[in-house]
A and B are shown apart, each in its own frame.
Chain A
Amino acid sequence: MKNKKAQIQNMETITVVIIVMILIVIGIVYATNQKKASLTEERERTKDIEAMTTATNVLSMDFLKCTRGSATRETCIDYYKIKALNNNVFKEENYLHFYRLFGESKIEIKIIKNITGKENENITIYSLEDTENKTSIIIKTPITIEDAVWNINYFGIMEVTAYR
Chain B
Amino acid sequence: MENICLINGSLRGKKASSLVFLNYINRMLADAEFNKDIINVWARVRESYPEDILRAISRADAIIMVFPLFTYGIPGALMCLLEDFYLYAKANGYNKAAGIYIVVNCGFYRPEIMAELIRVMKNFCRRLSLNWRFAICMGAGPVAAVTVKIPLLNMKYRRALSAIASDIENGGAGQKDDCFIKPLLPEPVILWWKAQYEKKMKAGAASK
Same complex = no
Residues of A at the B interface (CB closer than 8 Å) are none
